[in-house]
Amino acid sequence: MDGESEMRGYSYGWLTALFFVVSIVGHWTLGWFAFAEEEVAHGETAHLAPYLVQMGRDTLENWQSEFLQLIWQVIGLAYFLYLGSPASKENSERAEEKLDAILKLVAADQAEQVIAGIDKRFMRK
């Protein structure tokens, strides 16, 4: 897979990673300003160690309630339903296998090359 098609093939993942990085950096940056302002309001100096503990706790609380639940649902469904379950096999896969077999019978010398080209074009393998 060349660089451009790899980027396009994984664009949803790259976009999700970008959203994650921007949101986590924004969350921790704005959290620092809020923490520092609260410390100043109490007449204290803001220190990094208590901030890291507080933000780490808050982040993990959010991940437990939102991200881990959602990630488990998405990955669990993708794995168990689409990848691992015999019930998830589509009828089109059976038809595709039949067409591959017919192509191999009709054009035995070119079949593998044609199938590989089609698979590459549709990012099947």
Summarised one tens digit per residue, pLDDT across range 5-59 is 777 778 888 898 999 999 999 999 999 999 999 999 999 999 999 999 999 999 9
The per-residue pLDDT for 30 is 96
The mean pLDDT of 98-117, rounded to a whole number, is 80
Tell which residue, 46, 22, 43, 20, has the closest CA to residue 33.
46
Query: Backbone dihedral region of 36: left (phi > 0), alpha (psi from -120 to 50 degrees) or beta?
Result: alpha
Q: Is the pLDDT confidence value at 1 over 60?
A: no
The per-residue pLDDT for 101 is 82
Q: Where are the domains of the chain?
A: 1-46, 54-88, 90-125
C-alpha neighbours within 13 Å on the C-beta side of residue 87:
4
Name the 3-class secondary structure at 108: coil
pTM for this predicted structure = 0.52
